[in-house]
Structure 1
Amino acid sequence: MTTTARPAAGGHRVQVVADLGGTTLRLGRVVDGVLDAGSVRRVPTDGIDRHPGLSPHTLQDRVVAQLTYELEAYLRSPHAADANAVGVSFAGPITKDGTVLAGPTLWGGTAAPLPVGSLLERRLPLPVVVANDITAAAWRYAATEPEPFCLITISSGIGHKVFRHGEILVDDAGHGGEIGHWRVDAADDAVPCECGGRGHLGAIASGRGVLLAARRAAAADPDGFTASALAEPAGHRPAGITNEALAAALRADDPFATAVLNHCLLPLAQAVNCVFTAIGIRRYLFIGGFAIAVGPRFIRLLGDQLNRLGCFGLGEQETRDMLALGAADDDHCLIGMAHMVDHALPVPADAGADR
């Protein structure tokens, strides 16, 4: 973008940032790269998670209307009084000019490309930067990771971005960084993905994918389910299993839950192995509600699967050392989006002077 961000009083960089995810829309205020925790507003995303029966086109309209309304309301609040720019991260592939190409976790199947960048610029009084959510999140870690890295989110879906030498490795048309839609199961009856495809990594190894696998395993193996830590909180019903209970059972080393996760982690390990073998990235950071909820055991089990596959040229400990959890919060996109706005929108040279 060519727009220049206006300086706030005292020359501080103040951004209003929003993260539109499949489950939650978050908005907040970031001052000089630091998120004001008291400014964060969270509302359920008005998309497919809340209205699974509506068409993709209808859901897209609802999501856009909600995003615009919430941003306009936030910009009228005291939190935004000294803001000089707006940054929005979006759960889906986005072109360089801010057009969203798809929103599988937002509105499901195919809908028209959405020029959300130009739409928001017309409606909001400040310069706007729009980016993919994992692109934004990667910028949070760009200053602290000295080597190229791959950021992978394991939440309602799966996404990734590779950050190398100051840039995200995607093309201007938005291709790249969508490993969650890599087809890892070619069977005709493979698990359906919210994008309309089947057998995609995100449909199998995401939080939603692992939950579906646990419910199916419980129905297929009632004795194993009854003996597991999942049975009681689920009311002894497979459909009663929740992600929260599943994460707790995994942290407690429950054999039934562990077997389910190991099955789902194999294709994720294959994806990591593919990225490593193809371009030599030696650092993989995992964020997202499900990975963070399972915690260090997620990394340990993934490392087991990766070592089963073998990473060409690496020993067992070198392979495990590639994997790490990101920060244990849900602020990655908000903080990272502010850093991305700083990178994309230069402030005038005299911005440090009070006006």
Structure 2
Amino acid sequence: MRPGRRNLITDVDGLRVGQAQDARLKSGVSVLVGAAPFVAGVHVMGGAPGTRETDLLAPDKLVQEVDALVLSGGSAFGLDAVGGVVEGLRTAGRGFAVGGVQVPIVPGAILFDLLNGGDKGWTQNPYPALGRAALAAAGADFALGSAGAGYGATTADLKGGIGSASVVLEGGMTVGALVAVNALGSAVMGGGPQFWAAPWEIGDEFGGLGTGANDPGAEPALEIGPGEATTIAIVATDAKLTQAQTTRLAVAAHDGMARALSPSHTPFDGDLVFAAATGARALADPAGDPLRLGHAAATCLARAIARGVYHARPEPGDTRPAWIARFGPRD
């Protein structure tokens, strides 16, 4: 396996990512949108999720494809970012046809960043406008670290952020991941600088620092209160998958979260993974390819988590230091 050209989820042809953030708010929104509707699934392993329209993604439901997926800060307020994306898609004529009406199908998930030092004293919910702005900014290239839904994200000991990575399998299929890292746990070993995801790093995409010393008996220091976490992600592929197979891809991808964050999937995190399949490539091996895709999705997600923390930048009012500030400049 090798990274795609950009080492971003947009290496999956037909997918674009848009992001918008508000520096004063210390929060933002990230949107994955397809050139055409795509099959999607979801799996939740955290104990405190916040979601919109995820019931539609069950394999037995009527609608089998979606127009976009949304990751947002803002806790329950951030769910309204989906409304902004829906309005933008409706204006563009996108959506599921119901009689003479187009209804955009846009599931979303949120993370908690309300106590990160930003100004949350708004009189009008800012997230619908951020959602629409993120959709309008969608393209093949996008920022990592302090951007979009990861703009105000934190982990146990460092700033979090938006991360992405991709891989091209030997058979030609592409898998990518997009993640907003806002975990109760830590992305680094023993305080850093090495990342838990180090065994899965390709090249020096998050510093090339190798693995560090780990005390397997150390217990996590849980300094974040209930409701103040959640890592939300999307994995995507150009393979042709059913909705059931796409859901299994989301399940497998959670292994990557567990590889990159310690602890993960806690009762206080709303850890969730969406999966998307554009259907451009038929499975050459219907039995073996889903296994390969699941492994690739987990690997990509682990790498993307480390990249999100690695690329976070220091800003005024931060409640956690950025990796770059604590461990020195990148090469």
When the two structures are superposed, what TM-score results if normalisation uses the length of structure 1? 0.23
Name the structure, 1 or 2, with higher relative contact order (CA <8 Å, separation 6+). Answer: 2
More strand per residue = 2
Structure showing greater radius of gyration is 1
More helix per residue = 1
